[in-house]
Structure 1
Amino acid sequence: MTKDVVTMLVANLDDIRIYQSHDDTYHQVYTIGRKRAEKMINRNEVQRILDLLHEDNELERIPFLEQPLYKVKAGNFNLKLFRSSHMDVEQIVKVSLASSLTKKTMDWTTPKKPSEKLQPLLPDKEMHRVMRMASGKLNGKVGSGELLHVLKGIVKKAIIQSVEETATEQIITDKEVYKITFKTVDRYGTIRTIEG
């Protein structure tokens, strides 16, 4: 641990303890401390830790204790859970179905009052339906029973640049195109992306 690393730890933590790893292969250490409310650098503490880490010193290994080294004060908030980025698909489905966020999302995207059924003067063209979906007019719950899902349309503008070269000049043309993407989430938590 270099001086800049130790300084960063001291600025953010109180009651810092350093233990030697039980595996001597990589000469690693464990650093444990209590998060401080405000950052502050105590130069004496930095020097104490640097002295501990000196080659001539042998650090204590992590002790196996009956009582914890640190006691966590009771709070009125839920602990955050950290998950690996590698998750089983079935596990994701279970977590999604049990999530309060899924329920809230279904509530947010469901209209409170049924929308008026207006009949257009002329039959809809397919592009009209696509543009309505992409602009968000059809977002929310779609279908029923096994086909129930939530639809979200997104329209993004992109610039396509083309270059044409002649003997005397170079002509650069920018063309605006709109990319339409739909995302659907079914009742089992399966997310699908449709791009066109």
Structure 2
Amino acid sequence: MTPRQIEKIKTKIRSIRATLVAEKRKYGGFDDSRGLRYMPPELFIKIQDYKGGLTYLRWFDKNFNDDMGMPNFLFEWLIILFKTKNLKGAEEKAYQVFFANSYLFDKYFGRKIVPIEKYEYSNWAIPEFAEHFNYNSDQKELSDFTDWLKAFESSESFLRKKHNYIVTSKKLKNVNDMEARKQLLAELRQIESELN
């Protein structure tokens, strides 16, 4: 990437931030139905400015702390945490990515995506969403991240959590009784909240 291309991307990032800040100043809050807030991490990754990306994500977390984020955005957050050497944060974010869309890791590693008959809480969680994912394990600038994610994904802790999450999600898909659904949803939240 040429210095001019990098500067163009930096200008775009500044423009997005300025638009969001102006919106808050004008309306007293954010009404970002266009999704501008999700764009900067991808741009920071493109120019390999991971510290700048982390600064943006801290700002995002402060201003949109109730925003779950789309799976690809969470994946970008994961990359940035890893690249800034926050491995504990990266592990936590990797779990969030998996729970947001259990097919993204398969897509990243180029594995065939096999739909699982399980409860999906949103359209972002379905296998088709993963098909439009921009990152893959062949990207040279992500080779260290790829090695780390491969090891994380095969860890005993992740495999246990993944198994429990999928088993519970499969049960939830086929249960209509409200009390049983509440119980299974509580189990899913418990699985998601456990750090190890």
TM-score in terms of structure 1 length: 0.20
More strand by share: 1
Higher relative contact order (CA 8 A, sep 6+): 2
More helix by share: 2
TM-score in terms of structure 2 length: 0.20
